[in-house]
Amino acid sequence: MLTKEMTVGQVLKLYPQTVQVFLELGMHCLGCPSSTMESIEGAALTHGQKPDELVEKLNKAIVVV
> pLDDT tens digit string along 45-55?
999 999 999 99
Question: Domain for residue 13, yes or no?
Answer: yes
Q: Which residues of 10-19 are buried (b: 16+ CB within 10 A; e: fewer)?
A: bbbeebeebe
Question: Using CA atoms, how far apart are residues 30 and 63, in angstroms rounded to an integer?
Answer: 21
Q: What is the pTM of this model?
A: 0.89
Beta bridge mates, 39: 7
Mean pLDDT for the chain overall: 91
Question: Domain for residue 3, yes or no?
Answer: no
Q: Which carries the bigger pLDDT value, residue 56 or residue 35?
A: 56
Domain count, the chain: 1
Question: Domain for residue 52, yes or no?
Answer: yes
Question: Domain for residue 1, yes or no?
Answer: no
Decide: residue 54, CB within 10 A, 0-12 exposed, 13-18 middle, 19+ buried: buried
Using CA of residue 36, residue 37, residue 40, residue 43, what is the dihedral sign?
Answer: negative
> pLDDT tens digit string along 14-35?
999 999 999 999 988 788 888 8
Question: Domain for residue 57, yes or no?
Answer: yes
31 is in which domain, residue-wise? Answer: 8-62
